[in-house]
Amino acid sequence: MVCSFRGYASPENYPRAPEPTFVNVAFFIIALGTLATAAVAMSLRNLIHSALLLIGSWAGIGAFYLWAGAEFVAFGQVLVYVGAVSMVVLFAVLLTRHSRDDSGFEPDSIGRAVSALIVGGTVLGVLVGAVLSTPLKSATEVPAAVQVRSLGLQLMGPHAAALLVVGVVLTVALLGAVVIASPDRPADRKEEP
């Protein structure tokens, strides 16, 4: 596998479409898989199917991180999204169902879907136009692979304060989530089906 695609040898090679190398094909497979699973998940009525498909979409994003050379972020994505957030989402889906066959409620109105599609398509058009009309140069050399050791040194050195703040934020948020979700009144408990 020749990574000729990753960074052109010289800047004058830049103004042309990248040739379809193996790496490029891998990117297209990852992108199409991720987009297709996300779109189908957003359009399904059954919420459990949507959640399971979104897990596939998150895994595809993790594969993109691997493809881009950010291995540690890919592992973080798999751990946090594919592992933790998906379980929380599935629990929330199962806890908010009336019965076993309750797969959702009446379908959303057509007008709402059409207006959402119009807005989304407009935003997509604006974004694609802006991206395509901007002359972005790819890096001429491949950046050195980020070692986990250097990441740890950066986290403990220049970013130590941010790391502490993120730890506090996570602790407070998870405690708050428990407080919000726990039944506080006996009347609430009696109502449970």
Considering only residues 69-88, where is the footprint of other proteins by CB under 8 A?
69-70, 72-73, 76-77, 80-81, 84-85, 88
> Which of 3, 25, 29, 124 is the binder for other proteins (CB under 8 A)?
124
Least distance CB 120 / other proteins (angstroms): 4
For residue 174, how many C-alpha atoms fall within 13 Å in the half-sphere facing its CB?
8
Query: Whole-angstrom Cα distance, residue 168 to residue 76?
Result: 19
User: Binding of other proteins at residue 47 (CB under 8 A)?
Assistant: yes
User: Binding of other proteins at residue 143 (CB under 8 A)?
Assistant: yes
> Which of 3, 25, 29, 68 is the binder for other proteins (CB under 8 A)?
68
Site for other proteins in 20-39 (CB under 8 A): 24, 27, 31, 34-35, 38-39
> Which of 58, 59, 63, 82 is the binder for other proteins (CB under 8 A)?
58
**Cβ-based nearer residue to other proteins, 22 or 127:** 127
**Cβ-based nearer residue to other proteins, 2 or 139:** 139
User: Binding of other proteins at residue 92 (CB under 8 A)?
Assistant: yes
Query: Whole-angstrom Cα distance, residue 187 to residue 130?
Result: 54
Site for other proteins in 155-184 (CB under 8 A): 155, 159, 162, 166, 169-170, 173-174, 176-178, 180-181, 183
User: Binding of other proteins at residue 144 (CB under 8 A)?
Assistant: yes
One symbol per residue from 104 to 123: x for binding other proteins (CB under 8 A), - otherwise; what is it?
xx--x---xx-xxx-xxx-x
User: Rounded to whole angstroms, what are the CA distances from 136 to 27, 67, 90?
Assistant: 18, 20, 40
**Cβ-based nearer residue to other proteins, 100 or 137:** 137
